[in-house]
Chain A
Amino acid sequence: MTRTVGDATYVGTRTLRVEDLRLLTGTGTYVDDVIRPGMLHACFVRSPMARARILGIDVSEASQLDGVHAVFVAQDLNPGVREQWYTLNGPDDPDTPRPPLAEGEVRFVGDPVAMVVADDRYIAEDAAELVVVDYDPLPPVVDYATALDSTESVHADRPGNLVGQLGGRPMADLEPVFENAPHVVSQTVYQQSHGPVPMETRGIVAEWAAAGGEMTIWAATQSPHEVRSFCARLLGIAEHRVRVVMRDTGGGFGQKVLPQREDMCVMLAATKLPAALKWIEDRQEHLLAAGQARHEHGEARMAFDDDGRILAATLDHVQDAGAYPTPSPVQSGVAVGMLFPGPYRIPEGTFSSRFVFSNTSGRVAYRGPWQYESMARETLLDTAARQLCLDPVELRRRNMLSRDELPTANFNGMPYDHISPRETFEQALKMLDYEAFRREQARAREQGRYLGVGTCTYVEPTAGATPFHATEGATIRIEPSGKVNVYVAGGSCGNSLETTVVQLTADALGAAIEDVSTVQGDTAVTPYGAGTGGSRSGPMTAGAIARTAGELRERILAIAAHKLEVPAEEVEFIRGRATSKRSGGAGLTLAEIADIAYYQVHALPPGVPAGLEASGRYHTPHLMIWANATHVCTCEVDVVTGEVTLLRYIVSEDCGPMINPSVVEGQIFGGTVQGIGGALYEHLAYDEDGNPVSTTFMDYLLPTATEVPVIEVGHVETPSPGPGGYKGVGEGGAIGSAPAVVNAVADALAPFGVRISRLPLTPSSIVGLLEEARARQAVTR
């Protein structure tokens, strides 16, 4: 029924993107490009304090400003909330608080306190400055790492600031192994708060039609259907009364998977206004309040035998949830511990994870949200190699899983299969010529130059089958002219989903690619779907398209066979043309077949329905589809200024067969550079009073073209058991890169005895590490 990869005409090729023509000419439609009649504009009044009681809010002066329509405070909007939960977590999962506007107390700098609605954003900002809020400051809980011991509570009903905790078997179980092991290595790495920071900030336009009780929303989102479900629940209206439209979204990386508090405010306020309401977050708001990620630490431990074989591993992990996480971090955060064993043979081990409130911006999802498992494990392995006087590559070779050991499961019971960690590891090292680099490094050290190499190998669950994510639908309509439209839920934020869907559909049908177009991102016309996230779009849409196109292809073949008067098995249908060897060159185009299906219904073979349209839904039988990769990075560290220059960057990955190599590589490149940013540049920093100090792009440093090396990609191909053998590839780049960079810097500075425990590795922090190491050695001497 479905065609195999071997039949592919378009899949596997570097098909140019269909999105590009509009995006290159400035004719895309992002949420800020949406204009509605009489549209009004919102601006939030945000807390300047990390924690304070709200004693009063005076909106009188702001309300009187010309051009201001309304100023809403918590009492105006919050009571409108009917139900508030995310489909991913379900209504019964213990959730964290999420009031639309701050009520009674502000809990981080940037907490929305009031919303001004005006004719334009300029006036809205003028009015926001006129809202007077009387704050009574309270002592903030700024540092999540000490929050569990604080007598102050971010949320009064959560004394001790613990959001939740999860773990494996008791740590005490492992103590005998650690006590008896010849070698035990442990370390704690504190990773700094940073985040997705898409180039397009958050934004939403909500238009309420009171008479019909209908809401139309244009949103920057990765999941239009989730925005719809969420809005329907929030307002207590039927799901089909809400329509959510997104055409182009300017990057998501996890930040845009779920609606947040400001989106709730806009939805609630729109029902009280005579026209559409637009809120476009500005960059400062984004860096204050769109959320943070990756802010965590953990004590990682491994026990080794005398041959450097790992006997056991544990991770005691703590993660910052901020004041208002989206969603509660517990369910997704447990992946850090579950994946901590990575691609290594580790007989036993365990983890514990705690999630902690603080008076800072809330935790959000960020591309490979469990990335800390790799950071903790891979940096520990390098430290262990130094302590055991083994080359880090040799240490890994002794412990890393290879294909012939599969299937297997890690010590947390995660079942691994269809992966190739050892193969990617060796491929990447070969691409580098590891031994040659070590020689070059030795020569450089003699000249007082400090080069380093770092690796990171990880395994990654993609296309996970949570109830929310386990199915995906596709509708294919072949129009009477033979032109094809394929409808999928969408949510593409640069994932090239339009292009890959068109490739998959053209191949699955046998149509010519220029005849295939796709419609995505409009809940009114597309099948329900969870959107982009969790590296799911490749396998899941491939499954949905295969199912739907397979049914249509059978009808196409039946119609052609009937018309050509040959058996259906003898019909070839390639590039939109049906032929048969027996029909002597006569053939039918897809247009002619469609014409029969729509206008010559009497000429259809028996049992074939009229029209050429089908819908199908794929339900994955796989709990997850594993992908894996190795990142290898070399760098030079200037020990005077502390500057790190990346020299070579190599990724060897296994995402199964590639639908479009350019798209795969683009995902890897982008993720990798986000990880480089996380290791070296990006920091959503707070001072000790809880004031954020990186709220502009002058201080929150995204890597630019000169900070990024050429990234070389190697592919290993192990087909997955899923549709087409595909695997997800969206997140991996952002998982493997930061640990590889940190290891490379640590390797470069190894002659100084530097120990890395805090990120990011800024030039000044590297100088600090060098000075610390020098002081330590002076004491030892």
Chain B
Amino acid sequence: MTDVDTVDIHVRVNGTSRRASVPPRLTLADFLRVNCGLTGTHLGCEHGVCGACTVLLDGEAVRACLVFAVQAHDAEVTTVEGLAGPDGELSTVQAAFREHHGLQCGFCTPGFVVSVTAFLAENPKPTDEEIREALTGNLCRCTGYQGIVNAVRAAADTAGTTVTEGPA
């Protein structure tokens, strides 16, 4: 394609080792979508604002459009496809989005689900204000955020219940 050399990379994506020789300018988002066939990671702006492409890179939520695939060499990536159980059982966050009408067209949804998964892992008992603040890195045009905010609240409360089970 160009006279620029490709670079060999190794990335673990949703637990599977992926080796590829990629042009350096290939974004992680395009690597996941095109090279790995994981089209759940969506491109809504490609300049780091909309959040639709959010994935976990070594456990942290990042914009896959703002990371080059070569920068993910030897890293662990989790995409929206990696969140449900092996039998397709929805994760707590995914189930809460469904229960609370947290999605409509679904295009922004993978980014929200991945972001919220990371957010609740770091802050399992967020206030309502913290929830809204955490959601500002993802844009949605369908839901007016109402169902999404409710879903995150519910997911936090559900997960919280599980954690606090047993003697207090």
Contacts and interface: CB of A to CB of B under 8 A. Distances in A.
Q: Do A and B come from one complex?
A: yes
B43 interface: yes
B121 interface: no
Contact of A669 (B26, B84, B144): B144
A729 B26 CA distance: 42
Interface stretch (A25-33, A173-181, A594-602): A25-33
A27 to B, nearest CB: 7
Nearest to A25: B84
Interface in B92-146: 94, 97-99, 101, 103-110, 113, 131-133, 135-136, 138-146
Nearest to A121: B30
Contacts of B98: 16-17, 20-21, 24
Contact of B103 (A24, A280, A283): A24
Given A25-B90, A666-B147, A253 B45 contact: no
A689 to B, nearest CB: 24
B49 A253 contact: no
A156 interface: no
Interface string A196-216: 011111000000000000000
A708 interface: yes
A123 interface: yes
Interface in A483-505: 493-496
A283 B44 contact: yes
Given A17-B101, A25-B88, A248 B106 contact: yes
Contact of A24 (B23, B97, B131, B141): B97
Interface in A270-287: 280, 282-283
A20 B144 contact: no
A670 interface: yes
B143 A26 contact: no
B13 to A, nearest CB: 12
A496 B104 CA distance: 7
The main secondary structure of chain B at its interface with chain A is loop
Nearest to A119: B1
A32 B30 CA distance: 11
Nearest to A34: B39
A670 to B, nearest CB: 5
B99 A705 contact: no
The main secondary structure of chain A at its interface with chain B is loop
B90 A21 contact: yes
Nearest to A663: B101
Interface residues of B, number: 57
A666 B80 contact: no
A697 B141 CA distance: 13
Contact of B1 (A14, A25, A122, A250): A122
A24 B94 contact: yes
Interface centre among A14, A126, A669, A702 (most CB of B within 10 A): A669
Given A26-B38, A122-B23, A673-B144, A697 B45 contact: yes
A253 B105 CA distance: 11
Contacts of B142: 199, 251, 494, 666, 670
Interface centre among A23, A32, A253 (most CB of B within 10 A): A23
A533 to B, nearest CB: 15
Given A66-B2, A199-B108, A248-B105, A672 B39 contact: no
Given A119-B1, A250-B106, A666 B39 contact: no
Contacts of A670: 104, 141-144
Contacts of A733: 144
Contacts of A697: 45, 47, 49-50, 139
Contacts of A25: 40, 80-81, 83-84, 88, 90, 94
20 contacts: A24-B103, A24-B113, A25-B40, A25-B83, A26-B80, A27-B81, A28-B106, A29-B39, A32-B33, A32-B39, A33-B33, A250-B105, A283-B44, A665-B101, A670-B144, A704-B145, A705-B133, A708-B144, A708-B145, A710-B146
Interface of B: 1-2, 23, 25-26, 33, 38-47, 49-50, 52, 79-81, 83-84, 88, 90, 94, 97-99, 101, 103-110, 113, 131-133, 135-136, 138-149
Given A662-B101, A708-B144, 14 more contacts: A20-B106, A21-B98, A24-B106, A25-B83, A26-B39, A122-B1, A199-B52, A249-B105, A283-B46, A673-B145, A697-B45, A697-B47, A697-B139, A706-B136
